[in-house]
Amino acid sequence: MADYETDDEKVEAIKKWWKENGMSVVAGVAIGLAAVFGWRAWVEHRELVGQQASAAFEQLMANAEGEDSAAALAQADAIRAGFGGSAYASLADLMVARVKLKAGDAAGAVAALEQVMTQAPDPALARIAALRLARILLDKGDLDRAAAIAAQYADTGSFSGDFAAIQGDIAASQGRVAEARTAYERAIAAGASLSQLLKLKLDNLPAAG
């Protein structure tokens, strides 16, 4: 403000300034407070939702470990309905695949895993689903599709050794001994699970002709 000679002039200048600018100041403060409290409320809401989803998934795992497959599938449906699009929905589908496979419903397990592969928000979950799907297809004798999935994931990323092990199993089942040996060796080097079993498979391969 400019210099004013008397206090009355200063007061009048302040009143005038407030009349011209007061609403924008109030609005700016209100927006700032709303942003702060809105952000805090959003964070608290996310934490609450996360806690609810975690508790729901723990219940699903408990149901899946038991014999009540209907309860497990119903719990999975509830998680998808309440937390669709989240990692918990994909985790629920992974459990659905496990429950259905345990019940002898291989087709249902395949469908659940395919859903995770296409909808999981985390690529790591998609890779887990792909690995389980490839194993199911291998057990069912659908070698071509199992091989295609393994080839997609075997070279890089998490579980690359496990995908290589599947490639070894496929090659061994088709009599391609050299390819099986290479795949098993790659799987072991990459830290695949059940490495002792892979070493046994490797040792049991026919000698190179």
Q: What is the pLDDT along the chain (209 residues), one digit of tens a residue?
A: 445 456 566 556 655 655 665 555 555 555 555 555 554 544 454 565 567 778 887 888 888 887 778 888 998 898 888 888 788 888 889 889 999 998 899 999 999 999 999 988 888 889 999 999 999 999 999 999 999 999 988 877 788 999 999 999 999 999 999 999 999 999 999 988 888 999 999 999 987 65
CB proximity list for 140: less than 8 A, separation 6 or greater: 106
Residues in the chain: 209
Least Cα distance to 131 among 105, 99, 165 occurs for 165
Question: How many angstroms separate the Cα of 35 from the Cα of each of 26, 41, 44, 102?
Answer: 14, 10, 14, 49
d(C-alpha 194, C-alpha 16), whole Å: 81
Least Cα distance to 53 among 69, 24, 26, 76 occurs for 76
Q: What is the DSSP letter of 85?
A: T
Token pair 């490495």 in the structure block, residue: 195
d(C-alpha 197, C-alpha 163), whole Å: 15
Least Cα distance to 92 among 55, 67, 57 occurs for 57
Tokens of 40: 């805090």
What is the pLDDT, as a whole number, of residue 25?
52
**Contact 188/203 with Cβ under 8 angstroms?**
no
Tokens of 9: 């002039």
Question: How many angstroms separate the Cα of 99 from the Cα of each of 29, 66, 74, 122, 136?
Answer: 54, 10, 12, 22, 13
**pTM (global) more than 0.85:** no
Question: How many angstroms separate the Cα of 165 from the Cα of each of 9, 104, 110, 171, 195?
Answer: 88, 24, 20, 10, 9
Least Cα distance to 132 among 173, 90, 171 occurs for 90
